[in-house]
Amino acid sequence: MRKFSFLFFLLIAQVTIAQQLRVLDKETRRPINNVNVFSESHDFNSHTNKEGIIDISSVKANEILIFSHISYALVSVKKSELEKRKYVLYLTKESEQLDEVVLSVFKTEAKTNRVAEQIAVISAKEIQQVSPQTSADLLANVPGIKVQKSQAGGGSPVLRGMESNRVLLVVDGVRMNNAIYRKGHLQNSITVTPNQLDRMEVVFGPSSVIYGSDALGGVIHYYTKTPRLSETVETNTSFFNRFSSVNNEITTNASVEISSKNWASFTSVSFSDFGDLKMGKRRSHGFSDWGKVFEYSENTDSFFSASPKTNTDPNIQRNTGYSQTDILQKFFVPLSKKTDLKLNFQYSSSSDIPRFDRLDERSGGTLKFAEWFYGPQKRLLISPQLNINPENNWMEKGTFTFAYQNIQESRVQRRFGSLDRSHREEAVDIFSLNADFTVPLTKNKRRNLTYGLEFSHNDVSSKSYGQTLNVFANQVVGVLGEFPVQSRYPDGGSSYMSAAVYAGYRQDLSDKSTLNTGVRFTRTNLKARWIDQTFITLPNTDIALDNSAFTATIGYVYKPNKNWQLNSVISSGFRSPNIDDVGRVREKSNILTIPNIHVDPEFAYNAEIGIQKYFNNRKFRVGFNTYYTLLEHYILRDVIRSGPNANLVINYDGAQYRASAGEVVTNQNKGTAYVFGYTASYQGKLSDKISTSGFVTYTKGRTYDTNEPLSSIPPLFGQFDLNYIDNKLELGASLRFNSKKDISDFNITEGIDNHDLTPVVNPNGTTATEIYYGSPSWMTIAFNSSYQFNENWKVQGMLNNIFDQHYREFASGVSAPGRNFSFSLITTF
């Protein structure tokens, strides 16, 4: 009898233990504390503990349990189904109800229904569906973003009429912007491959005090894939292979994830090879020869040709091919129940990248440059990140992110008719520390405080030299001699330091309204030294500039009912001039930019309103966001009108430039300007199998002081998508369009908009009398499809620009791809 009783109680105990449910994060496999769990009948109501465990033994087998947490999607599941899952439940941050969880605004989880800022979130699934060749192509699919390209190996995102060093790029919490991020067009966005991204978030406008300087137009935050823990040792491998016909692209990505209870690793290697890009043949814009490449330079490092070569197919843009390799290695180690360590290693390197728009530049009726290419663009990131969860009165959780980055880039050029090849090489070492903390001020977390600090130090090295080539029978066999070349940045070295502290406060004033506020103080220090005065003489060869500023934001979210949300934001931002603003020397379109050591910060004051209407239980959303940004002391590239430099004559790369003729310019502070715009969008499900999304973006920007258009203001553009999913089959169609931008809306002063690369209305006129048309309108249609054979094999096919339209994105120096078929094979084991 005693044995029977013992076995009976043992059995009861085992059943009870078996009904201890564990709730884990699907991405990290870490326990989730404070998940509210209640039955549909409301007979049961409890929450998980710090181990993510909850006892559900009292719940009946046919009862439905609902799992609710502010940072995760709502889940409903029968208890009997949990038994089949061995009492382990994984929660995800994705939701059918379009209430995405975003990380970028407060550097901690927050649902969009509590955030006032305009935000776009691109998930790993959406990235795979778009299947972009580069991250710049991925950004071009984000509502509200326009991407400019000077060559195929690049892509400069434009947010709210702001571009390059007015837009902040971040990867895994580390600022990518550095001391030589330039004004104009910036191509660094491609150094993070889309094949290694887990998600991407875009915060529009200068509203976030988390990031500070450079984020006038907004923040683009790349989140790379992170390994997950597992109760047992698991190894998962995946392979991605793609071919594209328009440039004979071949991309291969291999990834290995090793998971265990005590550590996890993720390794990914990606290689892409891009051939010369073919433009569209159908010219609905009416300009028969615009963009065609009739001749090109076939010069290389080792091959010499004294004259251009005729292009047998003018629709192929010669000198646009390149290759790129990206490596990602991450380790995830839980040091304790409250402390995690992530080790993040990233390396990206390209081949030489031809600067297509410069190689297509003409002077005196013939091509100007025999050689103009970027040397291998290299980016190294080493970043340990420590996540702590002390859960005390002054800090619930915090993140320390340390980082070292090494950036290398170079420029090589030589003109036709010359044997002199010039080299300019830059390297930047960046050391940074971010510390971000959050603490709830009330137990129900209706009042939350975030605070932190950021420190970044940039060391810039800039070298230059010239070589006179020794040529024999079309082969470069050596160097006859060397000659001095003006460096791009201060040749004695330069540094840029930024230090900041911030605090943010978020409060749910009621169930219907949320208040977000924040303030940030930033101080910057710039030092630079010039040694060689052969070409340019400066009044001061050693400079030190100190700037500081307070910026603030206040946002309000009001939800009158379940289906309406009203957002409003008032914010300020600033951008302190970096080494590129103060000390760059470069030539483009026969205009020479020289240093100006008297450039001051530019400021932005922003107001925006957003309205969102939800339908079908919040599964469909229509939104409208409008903003007005006032720029003060904005920086503009302009001619030298007065002072000792007004009569400068400078010899640069074998040519002479006169300031009196408007051929020499500097970056200068001006008065005030404004940018106004809106984005109207929709997203959601039409049925269980059909979803759709779309947007239209309008931007206008002008200066108040000179009444000129601002640079980087794109014309009206938009995109509409329709997708169908039925079990293993996915089908999709998209329409992209761009309206005309008249030449009168281009900023001619700076030349950033590349007005001289738009169609010529009077092609028989001289260069001096040419009349430019502006940017023609265009529209393209694309189809995509995929089929999941089983859990291990998936194929994907895409047909872009179906009607083979010829067009160029606004301000771009290279024509967009013509009709393109791409095929991808995705395998996982």
Q: Which two tokens stand for residue 761?
A: 């209305």
Report the distance separating Cα 578 and Cα 586, nearest Å.
16
481-505 residues labelled b (16+ CB within 10 A) or e (exposed)? eeeebbbbbbbbebbbbbbbbbebb
Neighbours of 366 (CB within 10 A): 11
Q: What is the pLDDT of residue 4?
A: 46
% of the chain exceeding 90 in pLDDT: 72
Closest CA to 121 of 181, 200, 190: 200
Higher pLDDT, 618 or 800: 800
62 pLDDT exceeds 90? no
Q: What is the pLDDT of residue 7?
A: 46
Q: Is 248 exposed, middle or buried (0-12, 13-18, 19+ CB in 10 A)?
A: middle
766 pLDDT exceeds 80? no
3 pLDDT exceeds 60? no
Q: What is the pLDDT of residue 743?
A: 95
Kindly report, residue by residue over 33-61, the tens digit of the pLDDT.
888 898 877 778 888 988 889 999 888 88
Kindly report, residue by residue over 599-635, the tens digit of the pLDDT.
999 999 999 999 999 998 888 999 999 999 999 999 9
Q: Which DSSP category does 136 fall into?
A: H
Q: Are strands 475-483 and 494-510 parallel, antiparallel or unpaired?
A: unpaired
Q: How many CA within 13 A on the CB side of residue 358?
A: 19
In degrees and rounded to multiples of 5, residue 139 shows phi and psi of -60, -30
Q: What is the pLDDT of residue 564?
A: 95
In angstroms, the Cα distances linking 550 to 200, 213, 505, 553 are 28, 10, 16, 11
Residues in the chain: 829
**Helix extents (H) in 539-677:** 579-583
Report the distance separating Cα 144 and Cα 568, nearest Å.
18
Q: Are strands 322-336 and 264-274 parallel, antiparallel or unpaired?
A: antiparallel
% of the chain exceeding 70 in pLDDT: 95
Per-residue pLDDT, averaged over 269-293, amounts to 97
Kindly report, residue by residue over 682-699, the tens digit of the pLDDT.
999 999 899 999 999 999
Per-residue pLDDT, averaged over 57-82, amounts to 85
For residue 138, the SS3 value is helix
Q: What is the pLDDT of residue 14?
A: 45
User: Among the listed ranges 145-149, 297-301, 465-469, 537-541, which one has the minimum average pLDDT value?
Assistant: 537-541
In angstroms, the Cα distances linking 306 to 298, 303, 416 are 10, 10, 7
6 pLDDT exceeds 60? no
340 pLDDT exceeds 90? yes
Give the pTM: 0.91
819 pLDDT exceeds 70? yes
Under a CB-based contact definition with an 8 Å cutoff, are residues 524 and 178 in contact? no
768 pLDDT exceeds 60? no
DSSP per-residue codes, 480-505: EEEE----SS-TT-EEEEEEEEEEEE
Under a CB-based contact definition with an 8 Å cutoff, are residues 810 and 774 in contact? no
* Confidence class for position 91, pLDDT limits 50, 70, 90: confident
Starting at the edge strand that comes first in sequence, how are the strands of the sheet with 167-171 ordered?
Answer: 119-123, 197-204, 218-224, 167-171, 174-175
Q: Are strands 690-703 and 672-685 parallel, antiparallel or unpaired?
A: antiparallel
Q: What is the pLDDT of residue 106?
A: 67
Q: Which two tokens stand for residue 109?
A: 């989880």
Q: What is the pLDDT of residue 648?
A: 86
Report the distance separating Cα 801 and Cα 416, nearest Å.
36
Neighbours of 386 (CB within 10 A): 15
5 pLDDT exceeds 70? no
Report the distance separating Cα 345 and Cα 380, nearest Å.
8
Residue holding tokens 């023609």? 776
Q: Which DSSP category does 618 fall into?
A: T
Kindly report, residue by residue over 239-255, the tens digit of the pLDDT.
999 999 999 999 999 99
In degrees and rounded to multiples of 5, residue 574 shows phi and psi of -150, 160
Report the distance separating Cα 432 and Cα 434, nearest Å.
7
Q: SS3 letters for 372-384?
A: EEECCCEEEEEEE
For residue 249, the SS3 value is strand
Under a CB-based contact definition with an 8 Å cutoff, are residues 323 and 271 in contact? yes
8 pLDDT exceeds 50? no
- pLDDT, averaged across the chain: 91
Under a CB-based contact definition with an 8 Å cutoff, are residues 388 and 438 in contact? no
Kindly report, residue by residue over 565-605, the tens digit of the pLDDT.
999 999 999 999 999 999 999 988 888 999 998 999 999 99
Under a CB-based contact definition with an 8 Å cutoff, are residues 193 and 153 in contact? no
Strand locations in 749-807 (E):
774-775, 778-788, 793-800
Under a CB-based contact definition with an 8 Å cutoff, are residues 804 and 284 in contact? no
* Confidence class for position 1, pLDDT limits 50, 70, 90: very low
